[in-house]
Chain A
Amino acid sequence: MTSFQLEIQLVAVIVAGACALPGCFLVLRNMAMMSDAISHAILPGLVLAFFVTESLSSPLLLAGGAAVGVGTVALVELLRRTHLVREDAAIGLAFPAFFSVGVILIARYAGDVHLDTDAVLLGELALVPFDRWIAFGYDLGPQALYSMSMVGVLSALFVFLFYKELKLATFDAALAATLGFMPMLMHYALMALVSVTAVAAFDAVGSILVVALMVGPPAAAHLLTDRLDRMILIAIVLGIASAVSGYWFAHALDVSIAGSMAVAVGVAFLVAFLFAPARGLVAAHRRRAHQRWQFALKMLTIHLAQHEHRPDAFEECHVDHLQDHLRWDSGFAGEVVRQARQAGLVNLESSQLVLTAAGRHLAREAIVRD
């Protein structure tokens, strides 16, 4: 691994972590598409700030992008308040317009400078190590490393300092307002954070990967835990894992790094979606199957308990007649009996099913409780 490769991965890891932090709150507040809107809408702010400073690494770019990002959020809110368009339509109206302004500004005035639309949308992580920070003759490493770290620390600090306010505003905005925590202020602070992160990340990874990293890891983490603090940690870990594995995938196939990372995020989500311990598809399927057998066992014990010591017991409790009485097909009935015997619920005495004490107990429990 060369130092360039290490630097690229380091930047990618920091981007992933910095995106996952505000991303968790976006996902929980059902505002995931805001990341898409903001990451597109910041373009004109960036371009204008770039025209003023003629540098891509000026802090003014952060400020300009963040201002336009928050402006977009405010515009969406304003449009929604008129009740003339719904919120989703308002988002769909606002960001393409801003993005178009940015694209046109670039096409008309930026000429062939480094700032081009492909870069904004797609990012070029491979170029990160070439834009270095050199102070007093010392090479201090890629600039993106510093800007991203700064934003990452800012995110972490914000989430750490306002953890309970954010939590309350996210899960119960009404209570937060009643207690004087100003959920609206939290909302805009969060949006500003999303904007700043998107601006800092756009150069390295492009706006689309920002969306992938803000939405994917938190959504996957949400399937893995019910606790906010764990969700944030898991999201960060998943984001970092996607970033690194995406990098090596891109390296192996010589394709777009940002694209590969997005695909890796998709794979991470897919794995969580399928195999999450409690909420995954597989776990849900297994739980349903288990419940089906449990129900069948209860049915069997209840059936036997109903007819035990009755005149019709010989007929009803005959192992070969179960399919008629409980309307099970014979294969299923056989399997239920096998499981019931294995669990010590019934004994088989010359083709007659006889409840054990445990079986009788289960039947009584089932009738009383269900």
Chain B
Amino acid sequence: MEQLFTDYTLRTVALGAALLGAVSGALGTFAVLRRQSLLGDAISHAALPGIGLAFLVTGSKLPLVLMVGAALAGWLATALVIVITGASRVKYDSALGLVLSVFFGAGLVILTAIQKMPNAQQAGLEAFLFGQAAALVERDLATMSALGGVALLVAALLWKEFKVLAFDEDFGRSLGLPMRPLDFILTTLLVIAIVTGLQTVGVVLMSAMIVAPAAAARQWTNRLGRMVLIAMGFGIISGVAGAVISTSTARLPTGPTIVLCISGVVVVSILFAPGRGLIVRAIRHQLRSTRFQREAILMDLYQLALQHHRRDHPHAEAALQAMQPGGGKLRSQLKTLAAQGLVRQAGKQQWALTSKGIAACAQLHRDRS
């Protein structure tokens, strides 16, 4: 842990990963809510030819130049998806798959062409495939934080508008908000978020950084503001954790490690998040069904007691069993009821309502009718 502050490489990688986590977590939240989870996949794959072309045209490997190229290509891909789905009967998913693979193929063609160039110093371009966090330097960090900062700032400034866009586009239109330009801006921010992360995790795995933090955060809250903050937090934590683990272990690539960390966060969130988590939901379901069964036993006892002058007339356990087909845990349920002071054992296998139990039954009866 101490190394995090002293080791230059580790610090740079961790900072880069944290930056990536924060920006992609925030913008990914909007993408996931707008059902654009797979658009991130298409944009990140489509960025590859942009990187290659930017290098071919300018001959520069400045991160800003490559990122602008990547962003333009990613944006063009998004526009193409919209045009294809709008003007033909090709569905959204097909358009995504087509644009993704064709752009990626074009990227491969360009990269191999660059490789064959005589004085090619193409080393570094391939890092964009799987990411090469260890190769990050301060110049990359500066570019990433500048781009990411702008993206986050714009998202904060247009917060209200983006919120409307994410949840109820038609409502926004009825308010007179310019929904098309807003959509354009938000998509551009998503492209920027993806582009800033490419160097760290690569084009193949970048989509996970868009989807996973947001999907995990969604489990913990129902409010957009909190969801964005939690997603950023998850992104930062798994980014730093992945970077630290992979840098301190031999032959452990950073991108996949970060992705596994954030996937772990997703699994934990889906299982344990209070309110929505699967385990909490299962426990709540279990508690509710035992309570229902207990109430049913109590009411059965009440029904039997109604046949007698005295409401606390004892009844045989076998009779209760017969009234509860499949009620396997009758004895333990009765004991719980006895502990609550609602029934009492009146002889061997005989149970009777207490006065408190009779009052409870009357109350239940009123509630249900």
Task: Give residues in A with beta carbon < 8 Å to B.
Answer: 27, 30-33, 35-36, 40, 79, 82, 84-86, 88-89, 91-93, 96-97, 99-101, 103-104, 107-108, 117-118, 121-122, 208-209, 211-212, 214-216, 218-219, 222-223, 250, 253-256, 258-263, 265-266, 269, 273, 279, 281, 284
17 chain-A/chain-B pairs, Cβ below 8 angstroms:
A27-B94, A36-B38, A36-B41, A40-B204, A79-B270, A89-B32, A96-B205, A96-B207, A97-B263, A100-B260, A208-B45, A208-B105, A214-B97, A253-B113, A263-B106, A279-B88, A279-B89
CB-based contact B105/A262 at 8 Å: yes
A309 to chain B, nearest CB (A): 47
Give the residues in chain B near A100, CB-CB below 8 Å. Answer: 205, 208, 255-257, 259-260, 263
* Contact of B215 with A by CB under 8 A: yes
Nearest CB in chain B: distance from A235 CB, A: 12
A12 CB to nearest B CB, Å? 13
Q: Would you give the 0/1 interface string for B60-87, flagging 1 where the beta carbon is closer than 8 Å to chain A?
A: 0000000000000000000000001001
Q: State the CA gap A273–B86 with chains docked (Å).
A: 12
Residues of A close to B107: CB separation below 8 A: 259
Find out whether the CB atom of A30 lies under 8 angstroms from the CB atom of B91: yes
Bound form: Cα–Cα A93–B211 in Å? 7
Given contact pairs A32-B93, A92-B38, A103-B130, A212 touches B45 in the complex (Cβ within 8 A) = no
When distances are taken between beta carbons in the complex, the residues of chain A under 8 Å from B35 are 86, 88
Q: Is the CB of B102 within 8 A of A93?
A: no
Residue numbers of B with Cβ under 8 A of A are: 32, 35-38, 40-41, 45, 84, 87-98, 100-102, 104-113, 116, 126, 129-130, 204-205, 207-208, 210-212, 214-215, 218-219, 251-253, 255-257, 259-260, 263, 266, 270, 276, 278
Q: How far is the CA of A262 from the CA of B112 in the complex (A)?
A: 14
Contact B256–A104 (Cβ < 8 Å): yes
In the complex, A166→B212 CA distance in Å? 33
Please tell me which one of the listed residues A30, A85, A89 contacts residue B93 in the complex, with CB atoms under 8 A apart: A30
Contact B105 A93 (CB under 8 A): no
Measured CA separation A222–B88 after assembly (Å): 10
Which chain B residues border A85 with CB–CB below 8 Å?
215, 218, 270
Contacting pair A104 B253 (CB below 8 A): yes
Tell whether A262 pairs with B102 under 8 Å between CB atoms, given A30-B91, A121-B129, A223-B90: yes
Are A266 and B32 in touch, CB under 8 angstroms? no
A36-B100 in contact given A92-B210, A107-B251, A279-B89 (Cβ < 8 Å): yes
Q: A27-B94, A84-B276, A259-B112 are in contact. Are A99 and B204 (CB under 8 A)?
A: yes
Q: Which of B38, B126, B218 has the most CB of A within 10 A?
A: B38
Q: How far is the CB of A93 from chain B (nearest CB, A)?
A: 6
Main secondary structure of the interface of B (DSSP, over half): helix
Q: Are B91 and A32 in contact (CB under 8 A)?
A: yes
**Docked-complex contact A258 and B105, CB < 8 angstroms:** yes
A261 to B104, alpha carbons, bound, how many Å? 11
Interfacial chain A residues near B256, Cβ < 8 Å: 99-101, 103-104, 107
> What separation, in Å, do the CA atoms of A253 and B207 have in the docked complex?
31
Q: List 10 extra interface pairs beyond A79-B270, A104-B252, A263-B105, CB under 8 A.
A: A35-B97, A100-B260, A101-B260, A103-B255, A117-B130, A215-B97, A215-B98, A219-B98, A255-B112, A259-B106
Nearest 8 A/B pairs, CB to CB = A262-B105, A259-B108, A266-B102, A96-B208, A100-B256, A212-B101, A92-B211, A215-B97
| B106 close to A97 (CB less than 8 A) | no
Closest Cβ of chain A to B55, distance in Å, is: 15
